[in-house]
């Protein structure tokens, strides 16, 4: 056994050496005949296109082509994410959250139901920064350095405003507004009044004394901890619902009109008592007060990945902005670099158009 192993190792070592000697010899021979290169000739030189000034099949520079290839592959990545979102949505087509109910905040309008407005504003910010970018590219074609500087600066500003808006959107989504009760089967039950308006869990829950405290590493087993406890227990919420005769439970199931099904008063209390397991406030990757946890997962992942693209776009734009200021492209004789980052920036806008449609509209 060991003898066989050693001999095979020996064989491979020898083979390796033989190969090395052969390669070396070939290189030696080659460099002897042709001192300028050590590349082996393959005998197929005539059939390979070697490039050249007179043959330009795509009529674009190398850099621009590579940017297009990158954009194509990135577009397929985003399509994969959005198609996966579509898959999950089709899977839970009769209980998917309604976007208008999830994203209905607008700055300084507290408690006002304002669906769409905020995301429309974000869309305009991004479209406008796309316009300033293309104006910068246009100014570059005419070698107008100062105009390029102004438009690039505006583009960067737009990018930062968009990122800030997205942060605010995330904050609202994570914080949640009404709270909900999760069942043992991990379905979400929300509270509404008899007119169909949402009711906050915190408004009706009757707080009682509880000895249950958050288990942190410093006050219990040092190697175990848990996330923040919900403000209320299910029992406190049930007590609150029983005390408020006009509160009903709304399930996630969509009826024929595309609205969430509201249970009768008796069925509401029975459902809460039978299945209620946990109070959920806001959304994270595990729990989501708006409905299916997958909705939150995809929201974080897709808008997060898009936001990451916006962030990198802003960083690249800043680098190019300083290059423009320093006169790099003035010296080079053309502003193609601005055009290339412009392509990337427009692509980010293009992705947002699709995210906007599939997360907020459809």
Partner 1 sequence: MAHDIAHHESNTKRIWNVFWLLSAVTIVEVVLGIFKPDVLNNVVLGMKILNWIFIILTLYKAYLITWAFMHMEGEAKGLRRSVVWTGVFLVCYLLFILLTEGDYVHEVFNKGYKAWDF
The site for partner 1 (CB under 8 A) is made up of 57-60, 65, 68, 71-72, 75-76, 79-80, 83-84, 86-94, 100, 115-117, 120, 123-124, 127-128, 130-131, 133-135, 137-138, 141-142, 183-185, 187, 258, 333-334, 336, 339, 342-343, 346-347, 349-350, 353-354, 356-357, 360-362
Q: Which is nearer to partner 1, 190 or 205 (CB)?
A: 190
Residue 190's φ and ψ, nearest 5 degrees, are: -110, 160
Minimum CB separation of residue 22 from partner 1 in Å reads 41
Per DSSP, the three-state class of 129 is helix
As beta bridge partners, residue 193 has 247
Q: What tokens does 329 get? A: 């492209």
Minimum CB separation of residue 52 from partner 1 in Å reads 16
Per DSSP, the three-state class of 43 is coil
Q: Which is nearer to partner 1, 240 or 276 (CB)?
A: 276
Minimum CB separation of residue 119 from partner 1 in Å reads 8
Q: CB of 148 within 8 A of CB of 306?
A: no
Q: Which is nearer to partner 1, 25 or 66 (CB)?
A: 66
Minimum CB separation of residue 133 from partner 1 in Å reads 8
Q: CB of 324 within 8 A of CB of 145?
A: yes
Q: Which is nearer to partner 1, 206 or 263 (CB)?
A: 263
As beta bridge partners, residue 290 has none
Q: Which is nearer to partner 1, 132 or 323 (CB)?
A: 132
Farthest-apart Cα atoms in the chain, separation: 98
C-alpha distances (whole Å) from 306 to each of 106, 134, 229, 253, 298 are 21, 20, 31, 30, 12
* Cβ-based burial of 148 (10 A; exposed 0-12, middle 13-18, buried ≥19): buried
Minimum CB separation of residue 85 from partner 1 in Å reads 9
């Amino acid at each position: 056994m060991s003898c066989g192993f050693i001999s095979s190792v020996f064989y491979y070592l020898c083979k390796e050496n033989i190969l090395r000697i052969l390669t070396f010899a070939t290189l030696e021979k080659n460099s002897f005949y042709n001192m300028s290169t050590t590349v082996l000739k393959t005998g197929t030189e005539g059939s390979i296109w070697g490039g050249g000034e007179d043959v330009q099949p795509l009529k674009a520079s190398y850099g621009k082509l590579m940017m297009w290839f990158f954009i194509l592959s990135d577009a397929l990545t985003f399509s994969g994410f959005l198609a996966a979102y579509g898959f999950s949505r089709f899977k839970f087509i009769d209980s998917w959250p309604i976007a208008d109910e999830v994203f209905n905040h607008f700055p300084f309008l507290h408690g006002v139901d304002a669906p769409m407005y905020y995301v429309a504003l974000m869309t305009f910010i991004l479209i406008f920064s796309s316009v300033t970018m293309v104006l910068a590219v246009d100014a570059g074609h005419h070698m107008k350095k100062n105009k390029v500087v102004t438009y690039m600066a505006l583009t960067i500003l737009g990018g930062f405003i968009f990122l800030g808006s997205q942060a605010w959107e995330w904050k609202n989504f994570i914080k949640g507004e009404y709270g909900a009760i999760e069942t043992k089967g991990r379905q979400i039950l929300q509270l509404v009044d008899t007119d169909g308006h949402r009711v906050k869990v915190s408004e009706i829950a009757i707080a009682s004394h509880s000895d249950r405290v958050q288990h942190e590493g410093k006050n219990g087993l040092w190697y175990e901890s848990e996330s923040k406890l919900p403000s209320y227990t299910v029992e406190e919420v049930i007590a609150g619902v029983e005390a408020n005769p006009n509160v009903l439970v709304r399930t996630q199931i969509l009826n024929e009109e595309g609205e969430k099904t509201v249970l009768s008063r008796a069925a509401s209390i029975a459902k809460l008592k039978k299945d209620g397991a946990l109070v959920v406030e806001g959304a994270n990757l595990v729990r989501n007060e708006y409905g299916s946890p997958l909705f939150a997962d995809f929201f974080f992942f897709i808008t997060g990945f898009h936001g990451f693209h916006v962030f990198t776009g802003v960083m690249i734009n800043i680098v190019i902005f300083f290059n423009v200021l320093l006169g790099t492209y003035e010296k080079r004789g053309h502003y193609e670099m601005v055009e290339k980052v412009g392509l990337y920036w427009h692509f980010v806008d293009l992705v947002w158009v699709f995210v906007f449609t599939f997360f907020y509209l459809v």
